């Protein structure tokens, strides 16, 4: 059982109350409608579950793959979407399309991606360094969304590296331009997902941004982590990413902890098998059985992390091809195996810190509002 505090959430994202104050972070290739549905089944209907990142240009071009990625379940409210873009005109047009088609109720701006193929073009976590460009993007999004009452939020990192921090300026600019909330992943782009998140930066951002909610992100792997982050930083809510990989029940634990209720124990292996099958069934419904089961394979190691499952059985789980085969494999698990206490730590990619790939001369002028060349042409939907 984990520590709990009673917090009556006052968090609102635009018109939407968020109680408990928990947001599922958008994760490429992970937070499709199937995974969001699963997390929502464990968590609160009034938390927020964000669709995986969508590129603004793909929306404008009505890319077929992207439109499928933008699928939402009938029970999802608000329908939360994250956009990536670097051109104020393109991202503003994407928001107008989304508003006009009624595709989303909340739009988040991705400025936290540290992946080299994104930052070397001036996108993701590199972009907030260009203060005026960042300002223009938020202004364009808010202007396009405001008539429909759709809130715009912004997620960013501490900065490019320790010598080029941007988060305080980013928070103030987003606040001034009408964003409904900001979220800070308390790492630099140079850290990627390595090391420890610097929660003290969340506290400093909360002090700097005073009229809109500030959410914290980074190293929430258990309910106690969320309780500690809110207590230590004063943030208005938490954004959960890698901590829920293979652990959608984390949202039940977060809900209990943040409402001052007893935190449920982790599931035994029998229950994990049931959850795994439910995930597979949802993916098969979304993608079709063949693609859905292929998509599930990347989740297998996360679901089975720490449990006594032999190497051969793990290998067969990692190559499963049908729902029937999955059911048979689940039948080979020991349903009485308890949830392993060491399975609550980091999961997913961590990598190593490294120099951030940037366009030539990117750091020369932080006030430059020029749109990076070619950074907005990615239209794969991710």
Binding residues for FMN: 26-28, 82, 155, 185, 241-242
Q: Report helix angle 33-42 to 250-258, nearest 10.
A: 40
Q: Catalytic residue among 39, 51, 113, 244, which?
A: 113
Cα gap 145→139, rounded to integer Å: 10
**Coil, helix or strand at residue 356:** coil
Eight-class DSSP state of 259: B
Cα gap 210→342, rounded to integer Å: 38
| H or E element that contains 39 | helix 33-42
Cα gap 300→277, rounded to integer Å: 11
CB 18 within 8 A of CB 271: no
Active site residue 235: no
What phi, psi does 231 have (nearest 5°)? Answer: -65, -40
What are the CA-CA distances from residue 224 to residues 90, 115, 160, 164 (Å)? Answer: 41, 29, 29, 31
Place of tokens 């070397």: 120
CB 111 within 8 A of CB 85: no
Catalytically annotated residues: 113
């Amino acid at each position: 059982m984990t520590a709990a505090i009673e917090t009556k959430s006052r968090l609102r994202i635009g018109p939407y109350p968020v109680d408990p104050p928990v947001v599922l972070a958008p994760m490429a290739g992970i937070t499709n409608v199937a995974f969001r549905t699963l997390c929502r089944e464990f968590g609160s209907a009034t938390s927020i579950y964000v669709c995986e990142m969508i590129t603004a240009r793909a929306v404008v071009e009505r890319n077929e793959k992207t439109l499928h990625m933008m699928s939402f379940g009938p029970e999802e409210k608000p329908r939360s979407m994250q956009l990536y873009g670097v051109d104020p005109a393109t991202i503003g047009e994407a928001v107008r399309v989304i508003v006009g088609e009624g595709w989303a109720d909340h739009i988040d701006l991705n400025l936290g991606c540290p992946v080299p193929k994104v930052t070397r073009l001036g996108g993701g976590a590199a972009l907030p360094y260009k203060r005026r460009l960042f300002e223009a993007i938020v202004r364009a999004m808010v202007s396009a969304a405001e008539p429909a009452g759709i809130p715009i939020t912004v997620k960013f990192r501490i900065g490019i590296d320790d010598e080029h921090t941007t988060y305080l300026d980013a928070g103030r600019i987003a606040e001034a331009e009408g964003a409904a909330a900001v979220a800070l992943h308390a790492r630099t782009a140079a850290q990627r997902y390595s090391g420890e998140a610097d929660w003290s930066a969340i506290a400093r951002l909360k002090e700097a941004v005073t009229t809109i909610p500030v959410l914290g992100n980074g190293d929430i792997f258990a309910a106690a982590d969320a309780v500690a982050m809110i207590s230590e930083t004063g943030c208005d809510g938490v954004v959960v990413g890698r901590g829920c990989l293979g652990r959608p029940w984390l949202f039940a634990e977060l809900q209990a902890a943040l409402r001052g209720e007893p935190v449920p124990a982790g599931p035994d292996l029998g229950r994990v098998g049931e959850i795994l099958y439910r995930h597979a069934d949802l993916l098969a419904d979304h993608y079709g059985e063949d693609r859905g089961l292929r998509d599930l394979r990347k989740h297998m190691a996360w679901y089975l992390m720490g449990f006594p499952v032999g190497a051969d059985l793990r290998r067969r789980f990692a190559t499963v091809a049908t729902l029937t085969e999955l059911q048979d494999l689940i039948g080979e698990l020991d349903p009485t195996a308890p949830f392993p206490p060491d399975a609550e730590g980091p999961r997913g990619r961590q990598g190593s810190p490294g120099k951030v790939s940037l366009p030539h001369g990117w750091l020369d002028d932080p006030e430059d509002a020029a749109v990076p060349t070619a950074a907005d042409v990615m239209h794969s939907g991710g």
